[in-house]
């Protein structure tokens, strides 16, 4: 080949290498990012919108109850002793209802509906018929609410309690686990006694958390009214059509940009997503933020480490409740100015409509003072922390464990006979775990549609660069060798011979 041909090969090699770098390291990633951004937007209709509206897989919902083993002693002021009973296993199906788009704001509003189906096989040997003793949450809620808001009415309430709860002799409730959780424990409004009638009139006016069973019986349970029923909180979130980085972000709760639950704007401003979808392209330093309708607040999970789940590279995050007593940003969660709870607790009374305090299970990561109020707890990070693993490009949660415990502060109330000597304690009632691991079929789909393509592109760009450099170097070497070669012409002799 002549020198001009070698030059052309060198130029072609440079072009191939440069194009491979530009396309492989810049063009292709930009194209992938654009496609991911479009795929996560909640357009109507598309696959992501359909899966967001109605989850294609069930959440594993486990409930662990705390059985008080010394109720008689605790009713007389002794330290409560509890024993965990569980898990009771349910399949939780999540669906969004009353969906309404607001294109002018690029938002969509909805209410969440959760349906729980008991799994007898996984729950075995537990059946739900086990008798469990807990603080009588319905009765204590009435007493402590009246004591806080209308203490002068405690005497009237003391008379009504006899009829409402069938003449109770203890501030503790012993009932079947299934009744406490879903089927309901009766509150009796059949009496025509003045005190009972007055209380029942208020119950009929605002039966929040109670399920009517006829005209005069109301059933109290922790999850019965939530099962298959739309949530009372209406959320409005960004669709991500205009900006994929906003997808799922909560902008309004019950048509308001601010809550009226907490004492200050920072805590009353919902932030993060609705917890069912997250913006793509996660950065570890940003963390994960999601709004919880159960708590009326946003939970922030911080990056812990990089992990691999079923072959998928991911970021692992963990969350806790922090310490409102020492963190200025959390002091608007304090029940009252100067009356902040210590590390690990959140008072959700206004959110729950009952004097309930949330924590991590077994009071994990809470102040020692609270754990000393009760015996029988065994906090373990492996079992009791909130953690989640996300594939960072698509922000797909490939594994997650949301764990919450619900507790009640108890104390004596002199005007209520069965509560005169009630123990001063923080008594755990139950804790729940919502868990999910991405099924193999979705892992395989992600592998085929994303990671295989990325691997092929990754290999292809290096092949392109290598091929271009090989062409350039080979042609350059041949060009140099040709320039350095010398043609020797023999000199003639007298006879024309050499």
Residues 315 and 462 in one domain: no
d(CA 423, CA 71): 10
Specify whether 306 is located in the same domain as 400.
yes
Residues 19 and 72 in one domain: no
Rounded mean pLDDT of 112-135? 97
For the chain, the C-alpha Rg in angstroms (whole number) is: 33
The pLDDT score that the predictor gives to residue 38 is 72
Map tokens 């009237």 to a residue: 156
Give the pLDDT mean for 474-494.
58
Cα separation, 54 vs 50, in Å, equals 6
Q: How far apart are CA 66 and CA 430, in angstroms?
A: 6
Res. 358 pLDDT band, cuts 50 70 90: very high
Listed residues 405, 422, 438: the one ending a domain: 438
Contacts 24+ apart (CB under 8 A), 40-47: 40/240, 40/244, 40/247, 40/277, 40/279, 40/280, 40/394, 40/395, 41/239, 41/240, 41/241, 41/244, 41/247, 42/108, 42/239, 42/240, 42/241, 42/247, 42/248, 42/277, 43/239, 43/241, 44/101
Q: Is residue 380 part of a domain?
A: yes
Q: Confidence class of residue 428 from pLDDT cuts 50, 70 and 90?
A: very high
The reply to whether 82 and 225 lie within a common domain is: yes
Residues 49 and 116 in one domain: no
Residues 324, 354: one domain?
Answer: yes
For residue 17, how many other CB atoms are within 10 A of its CB? 19
> Are residues 128 and 32 located together in one domain of the fold?
no
Structure tokens at 126: 């537990």
Residue closest to 68 by CA, chosen among 180, 161, 154? 180
Is pLDDT above 90 for 491? no
Note the pLDDT tens digit of each residue in 190-239: 988 888 888 888 888 777 778 888 888 999 999 999 999 999 899 999 99
Q: Is the pLDDT reported for residue 86 higher than 70?
A: yes
26 domain-assigned: yes
* Average pLDDT of the chain to the nearest whole number: 86
Q: Is the pLDDT of residue 277 over 60?
A: yes
pLDDT at 176 over 60: yes
Most confident of 209-213, 317-321, 470-474: 317-321
User: Would you say residue 160 lies in a domain?
Assistant: no
pLDDT digits (tens, 9 = 90+) for 342-352: 999 999 999 98
Residue 254 inside a domain? The answer is yes
**Of the candidates 438, 471, 493, which is a domain's last residue?**
438
Give yes or no: residues 227 and 344 share one domain: yes
Residue 97 forms part of a structural domain: yes
Proportion of the chain above pLDDT 70, given as a percent:
82
Instruction: Indicate if 426 and 470 belong to the same structural domain.
Output: no
Q: What percent of the chain has pLDDT over 90?
A: 61
Closest residue by Cα to residue 64 from 234, 285, 222: 222
Q: Taking the alpha carbons of 27, 32, 35, 41 in that order, is the dihedral positive or negative? A: negative
Residue 146 falls within a domain, yes or no? no
Q: Over the stretch 20-38, which tens digit does the pLDDT of each residue have?
A: 666 655 555 556 666 666 7
pLDDT value of position 353:
87
Q: Are 398 and 311 in contact (CB under 8 A)?
A: no
Whether the pLDDT of residue 465 is over 60: the answer is no
Q: Are residues 347 and 450 in the same domain?
A: no
Same domain, 129 and 236: yes
Does a structural domain hold residue 214?
no
**Does residue 260 lie in a domain region?**
yes
43 and 123 assigned to the same domain: no
> End of a domain among 423, 438, 453?
438
Structurally, the chain folds into a number of domains equal to 2
Host domain of residue 94 = 58-136+171-184+221-438
């Amino acid at each position: 080949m002549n020198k001009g041909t070698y030059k052309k090969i060198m130029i072609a090699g440079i072009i191939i290498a440069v194009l491979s770098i530009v396309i492989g390291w810049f063009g292709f990633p930009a194209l992938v990012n654009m496609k991911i951004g479009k795929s996560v937007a909640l357009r109507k209709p598309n696959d992501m919108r359909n899966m967001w509206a109605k989850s294609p897989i069930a959440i594993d919902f486990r409930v662990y109850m705390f059985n008080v083993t010394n109720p008689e002693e605790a009713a007389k002021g002794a330290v409560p002793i509890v024993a965990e009973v569980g898990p009771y296993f349910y399949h939780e199906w999540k669906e969004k209802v009353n969906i309404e788009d607001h294109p002018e704001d690029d938002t969509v509003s909805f209410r969440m509906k959760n349906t729980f189906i008991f799994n007898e096989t996984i729950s075995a040997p537990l059946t739900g018929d086990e008798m469990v003793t807990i603080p009588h949450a319905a009765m204590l809620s009435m007493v402590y609410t009246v004591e806080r808001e209308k203490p002068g009415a405690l005497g009237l309430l003391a008379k009504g309690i006899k009829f409402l709860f069938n003449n109770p002799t203890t501030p503790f409730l012993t009932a079947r686990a299934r009744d406490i959780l879903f089927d309901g424990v009766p509150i009796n409004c059949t009496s025509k006694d003045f005190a009972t009638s007055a209380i029942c009139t208020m119950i009929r006016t605002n039966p929040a958390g109670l399920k009517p069973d006829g005209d005069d019986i109301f059933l109290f349970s922790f999850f019965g009214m939530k099962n298959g029923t739309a949530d009372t909180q209406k959320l409005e979130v960004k669709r991500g059509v205009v900006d994929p980085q906003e997808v799922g972000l909560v902008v309004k709760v019950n048509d308001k940009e601010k809550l009226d639950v907490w004492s200050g704007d920072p805590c009353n401003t919902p932030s993060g997503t609705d917890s069912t979808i997250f913006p793509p392209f996660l950065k570890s330093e940003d963390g994960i933020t999601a709004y919880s309708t159960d708590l009326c607040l946003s939970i922030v999970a911080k990056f812990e480490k990089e992990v691999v789940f079923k072959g998928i590279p991911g970021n692992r995050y963990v969350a806790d409740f922090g310490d409102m007593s020492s963190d200025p940003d959390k002091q608007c969660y304090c029940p009252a100015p100067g009356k902040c709870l210590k590390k690990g607790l959140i008072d959700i009374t206004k959110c729950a409509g009952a004097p309930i305090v949330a924590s991590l299970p077994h009071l994990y990561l809470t102040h020692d003072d609270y754990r000393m109020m009760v015996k029988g707890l065994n906090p373990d990070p492996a079992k009791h922390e909130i953690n989640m693993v996300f594939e960072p490009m698509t922000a797909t949660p490939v594994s997650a464990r949301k764990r919450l415990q619900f507790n009640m502060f108890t104390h004596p109330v002199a005007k209520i006979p069965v509560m005169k000597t009630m123990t001063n304690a923080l008594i755990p009632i139950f804790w729940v775990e919502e868990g999910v691991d991405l099924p193999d079929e979705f892992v395989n789909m992600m592998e085929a549609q994303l990671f295989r393509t990325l691997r092929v592109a990754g290999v292809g760009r290096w092949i392109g660069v290598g091929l271009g450099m090989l062409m350039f170097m080979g042609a350059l070497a041949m060009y140099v060798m040709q320039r350095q070669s010398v043609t020797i012409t023999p000199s003639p002799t007298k006879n024309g011979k050499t």
